[in-house]
């Protein structure tokens, strides 16, 4: 019996939490600072989730190519996420209704929660056990 790729397994396990996290972020933001803050928090949650999906699918693709490509995509994905979060914050801050405080206060815990979830989901498994490569000898 073969197990699904770890990235696709993570997507399956994380996805049910995206909408409830966005609703919770909106409720907390709106409660403390109004609907605009709520929507700013929702944007942060959506951005974290979409970046997670892009990274997971990119890693799944890279794993079908080579171990070197996995490393390149992982490091590049990390840098890309930081750049995307920064550009989104700077760009959205130009809008009158946008709340950068609510955005950041939703973004940081969402990223940390996602990292903890990923770490817990993959803990106990060796990096080499996570991917299979065509033509590689099986041990």
Mean pLDDT of 37-57: 96
Decide: 37 and 30 in contact? Cβ < 8 Å: yes
What are the backbone dihedrals phi and psi of residue 137, each rounded to the nearest 5 degrees, phi first? -65, 140
Mean pLDDT of 118-138: 64
- Percentage of the chain beyond pLDDT 90 is 64
Range of the domain at 53: 40-121
Q: What pLDDT was estimated at residue 133?
A: 58
In a domain, 8, yes or no: no
- List CB contacts of 7: < 8 A, sequence separation 6 or more: 56, 57, 59, 60, 63
In a domain, 49, yes or no: yes
In a domain, 29, yes or no: no
In a domain, 13, yes or no: no
What is the number of domains present in the chain?
Answer: 1
In a domain, 46, yes or no: yes
Residue 35 CB neighbours (<10 A):
11
Mean pLDDT of 93-98: 96
In a domain, 54, yes or no: yes
In a domain, 101, yes or no: yes
The span from the CA of 28 to the CA of 50, in Å, is 21
- Based on its alpha-carbon atoms, the radius of gyration of the chain, rounded to whole angstroms, reads 17
The span from the CA of 139 to the CA of 118, in Å, is 26
Mean pLDDT of 50-66: 91
């Amino acid at each position: 019996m073969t197990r699904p790729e770890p990235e696709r397994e993570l997507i399956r396990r994380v996805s049910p939490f995206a909408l409830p996290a966005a609703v919770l972020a909106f409720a907390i933001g709106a409660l403390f600072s109004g609907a605009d803050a709520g929507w700013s928090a929702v944007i942060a949650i959506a951005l974290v989730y979409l970046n997670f999906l892009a990274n997971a699918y990119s890693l799944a693709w890279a794993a079908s190519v080579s171990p070197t490509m996995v490393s390149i995509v992982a490091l590049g994905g990390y840098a890309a996420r930081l750049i995307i979060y920064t550009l989104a914050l700077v760009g959205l801050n130009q809008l009158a209704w946008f709340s950068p405080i609510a955005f950041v206060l939703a973004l940081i815990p969402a990223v940390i929660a996602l990292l903890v979830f990923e770490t817990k989901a993959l803990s106990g498994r060796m990096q080499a056990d996570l991917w299979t490569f065509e033509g590689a000898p099986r041990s």
